[in-house]
Amino acid sequence: MEFVKEIWEFIQNQVLGMQWLRELIGNGLAVAGLDLSSRAGGSILFFLYDLIKIAILLCLLIFVISYIQSYFPPERSKKILGRFHGSGANMVAALLGTVTPFCSCSSIPLFMGFTSAGLPLGVTFSFLISSPMVDLGSLVLLMSIFGGKVAVVYVVLGIIVAVLGGTIIEKLHMEKYVEEFIRNASGIEIDAPKLTKKDRLLYAKTQVETTFRKVFPYILVGVGIGAVIHNWISEQWIEKILGNDNPFGVILAVLVGVPMYADIFGTIPVAEALLSKGAQLGTILSFMMAVTTLSLPSMIMLRKAVKPKLLAAFATICTTGIVMVGYLFNLFQSVFL
């Protein structure tokens, strides 16, 4: 058992956490004459280490996930979802969301396509909630920062929020609040193309290039903000605003996250810095969920597909679920960290 624990710690620290990279960059900066104990030196180390680590993991993850995703084009996903009914369909939709695009604005066109194809509204909303909030990439990156327990529980709770959210929307019978151009769209049956292994590898490579170009600016901003928080903002200030002394920290984190737009890869370095400064775990995870699921740009985009009443129901359900997840993690933080 001890051997297994050592192997896991090695994977956690050296493979996912890339502590060897931190030491390598730190030694290089020290040789260059930079004082790593200073604020400027610490910020540069944090920035370079997190930027390179996330970029490496991101490219590997996009490649693997895109290869898996090549087996689930929209046509095939629609057929898979059409075989299930009730809560089982919501669960399958949430799980399919974990192998699809990395941000809500990429997921909304698929949501519109599924809805136009006649899939139940609750099922398509389970997909819409799950897709940006949880995916295989976020699982691995969260493990590299927060550890395996936090990552797994985050993904599980995210899927639960997606399933429950879709189920509630289904029970409310809000189909009439979908815009008419989507409800009246006629679905066209298109057979999913049969891809060779070479085609799938080429598709994965293309996805790495296009997705990395799209998300890298957010990673750059996120790592930059994380470096500032990590080395220039006092722990006392963070603890006062987002620590256990503020019972409204989770709600504040959600309100701050909504106007922002980024994917989970851009929020992780910010979350890492906040955690090191004393912010509560649940508060941080609520912030990440709010940014990825309820960002203002994605709400504006979704408004083109649904009417205000359905949009308000979606936002209310997601916000309630995210806040509950935040307080749950805060309550049991000692178990996870």
Domain residue ranges in the chain:
2-185+201-336
> Which comes out higher in pLDDT, residue 138 or 165?
165
pLDDT digits (tens, 9 = 90+) for 151-206: 888 888 889 989 999 999 999 988 889 888 777 755 444 455 678 888 889 988 99
**What pLDDT is stored for residue 190 in this prediction?**
47
Over residues 306-315, mean pLDDT: 91
**What pLDDT is stored for residue 230 in this prediction?**
81
Give residue for tokens 């049991």. Answer: 332
pLDDT-above-70 percentage for the chain? 89
For 293, residues 6+ apart whose C-beta sits below 8 A from its C-beta are 104, 129, 132, 133, 318, 322
pLDDT greater than 60 at residue 238: yes
Instruction: Give the confidence band of 16 by pLDDT, cuts at 50, 70, 90.
Output: confident
Question: Which residues, listed in sequence order, are joined to residue 178 by a DSSP beta bridge?
Answer: 306
CA distance 314 to 312: 5
Instruction: Give the confidence band of 102 by pLDDT, cuts at 50, 70, 90.
Output: low
> Which comes out higher in pLDDT, residue 143 or 48?
48
DSSP character string of 169-221: HHHHT-GGGB-HHHHTPPP---PPP---HHHHHHHHHHHHHHHHHHHHHHHHH
**What pLDDT is stored for residue 31 in this prediction?**
94
Q: pTM of the full predicted structure?
A: 0.75
pLDDT digits (tens, 9 = 90+) for 173-186: 888 898 887 777 55
Over residues 95-114, mean pLDDT: 71
CA distance 291 to 288: 5
Mean of the per-residue pLDDT values for the chain? 82
Over residues 208-231, mean pLDDT: 84
